Amino acid sequence: MNSIELKNVTKTYRVYQRRGGILKEVLLRRRYHRPFFALKEVSLLVERGVTFGVIGDNGAGKSTLLKLITGTTVPTSGSVHTVGRIASLLELGIGFHPEFTGRENVWFTATVMGVPREEAQHRLGEIVAFSELDEFMDQPVKTYSSGMYLRLGFAVATAFDPDVLVIDEALAVGDQNFQRKCIERIYQFKQAGRNIVFCSHNMYQVRQLCDLALWLHRGECRAIGKAAEVVEEYLDFLRAAKSPRTRSSTAQQVSHVESVTLTDMLGRPCNQFRTGEGLRLTVVARFPEDCTPNLGIGIVRNDGTICYCTNTREDQFAMKPAGDGAYVAAFELPQVELLSGNYYFSVALTDERILQAYEILEAACPFTVRHEGSEYGLVKLTHRWS
């Protein structure tokens, strides 16, 4: 049975170039706007129990799609059909009245969702405990920080056993401990066979959490299918778009990775290694002029398992100027201690405090490791018997 069904959904908005355009249209009966297509002929089916990811660049139409699913907006054409109770965590604090207290907003949200007052009263203690806002529940939510908004919003959205849980990028606001609680609850929903629609720029979370995914590009469906496959197709697109051959002269002034090269220790291009052989990953990148460059490297197995991460700051290594404003660094593994499997490197450019990420390439260089012994697992550990 399908819980969510969209058929040829198009959503357009009117964009006026000058102030007063709406009034002129009404009075003069002439068009003073141009249509903007937030979504174009999007169709999808989500069966019950499926966790569905939505990915794409900013402005691709992801938030519009989520609003259509939750019913906070209607399509210009096409149809949207959903089954069961829907709870959403979209824009931070959406649906909360700023003058109401946290407790009053719980009652208000429960009423909007059609939850009986007895059930809302029964769930109130759980909401307070999960949000960890017991000291602030009787304060107006306009006094809440963004993190407190998120805590209350997520606790309310997930407390009333929705059939469909819709989550936007708002999870990025919370602290690490609360994010972990949220992810654990999302997994509980997934294991209970409920639908989750998850929109995120974190491709690792989408790959790990979602069964299927939709890639939106300029309002159109670019790809739909198994989450891992759609994510890889999207990452391939991003890498191609960031290729030095396609960058304009203006883009050259922005921090970015210019090239990532994987070779053996003799400098020969290679993407297949045996356990114990050496490899070298060379990265050429540009950074803002007022920034001390920091390069992060991660090794990830193709199922998303993170094998190892480090960065030049941690290893007290200064990237070397390569001329023309670029920097270069080579990450070397004299002996690959991984066992058989498919892996890839992730590359991140950050500031020296590792607070701001300028660019992240999540699958820069795929490679394969083969091990001829009978050992199995993730890594070959140096050991001895006695």
Q: What is the pLDDT of residues 311-321, one digit of tens each?
A: 999 899 988 88
Which of 209, 237, 265 lies at the terminal end of a domain, its last residue?
Answer: 237
Q: Is the confidence at residue 323, as pLDDT, over 80?
A: no
Domain co-membership, 68 together with 209: yes
Pick the most confident of 112-121, 161-170, 323-332.
Answer: 323-332
pTM assigned to the model? 0.62
Co-location of 65 and 176 in the same domain: yes
Q: Are residues 115 and 213 in the same domain?
A: yes
Residues 60 and 191 both lie in one domain: yes
Tell whether the model's pLDDT for residue 9 goes beyond 90.
yes
Question: Which residue would you say has higher pLDDT here, 275 or 352?
Answer: 275
Amino acid 248: pLDDT: 35
Residue 259, classed as helix, strand or coil, is strand
Domain-embedded: residue 19: yes
- Whether the pLDDT of residue 247 is over 60: the answer is no
Same domain, 167 and 315: no
- Position 243 pLDDT exceeds 60: no
Token pair of 379 as six digits: 């890594």
**CATH at 137:** 3.40.50.300
Quick one: tokens of 381? 């550990």
Specify the pLDDT at position 31. Answer: 77
Count how many domains the chain has.
2
Domain termination site, one of 208, 237, 266: 237
Residue indicated by tokens 């994010």: 179
Q: What is the pLDDT of residue 206?
A: 86
* pLDDT of 364 above 60: yes
Domain annotation covers residue 329 = yes
Q: What is the pLDDT of residue 56?
A: 92
**How far apart are alpha carbons 22 and 44 in whole angstroms?**
34
| 33 neighbors 16 (Cβ within 8 angstroms) | yes
% of residues, the chain, pLDDT over 90: 36
How many residues belong to the chain?
A: 386
261 plus 115 within the same structural domain: no
> Kindly report the CA angle at 208 between 195 and 359, in degrees rounded to 5?
120
Higher pLDDT, 331 or 172: 331
Instruction: Establish if 244 belongs to a structural domain.
Output: no
In a domain, 127, yes or no: yes
What phi and psi values does residue 200 have, to the nearest 5 degrees? -160, 155
Q: Which residue has the higher pLDDT, 102 or 25?
A: 102
CATH of the domain at 329: 2.70.50.60
Amino acid 221: pLDDT: 93
Residue 261 counted as domain residue: yes
pLDDT tens per residue, range 39-89:
999 999 999 889 999 999 888 999 899 999 988 889 999 999 998 888 887
Which helix (H) or strand (E) covers residue 375, if one does?
none
Cα distance between residue 166 and residue 89, in whole Å: 6
184 CB-contact burial (10 Å; exposed 0-12 / middle 13-18 / buried 19+): exposed
Rounded mean pLDDT of 360-382?
A: 88
Q: How much is the pLDDT for 299?
A: 94
Question: Which 8-state DSSP code applies to residue 172?
Answer: G
Residue 370 and residue 340: Cα distance in Å, rounded?
4
Mean pLDDT of the residues in the chain: 84
- Clarify whether residues 135 and 272 are in a common domain: no
- 172 against 118, higher pLDDT: 118
- The bridge status of strand 357-370 relative to strand 272-274 is parallel
Query: What confidence score (pLDDT) does residue 280 get?
Result: 96
> Which pLDDT score, from 0 to 100, does residue 245 have?
37
- 230 and 273 housed in the same domain: no
pLDDT, position 242: 56
Domain boundary among 204, 237, 270: 237
Residue 238 predicted with pLDDT over 60:
yes
pLDDT at 18 over 80: no
Rounded to an integer, the average pLDDT of 123-137 is: 89
On whether both 54 and 120 belong to a single domain, the answer is yes
**Which residues is 13 bridged to in the sheet?**
36
- pLDDT at position 293: 83
Same domain, 207 and 271: no
Q: What is the mean pLDDT of residues 199-211?
A: 82
For residue 93, pLDDT over 60 is answered with: no
b/e code 203-235 from CB counts within 10 Å (16+ = b): bebbbbbbbbbbbbbebebbbbeebbebbbebb
| Domain carrying residue 318 | 254-370
Higher-confidence position of 128 and 88: 128
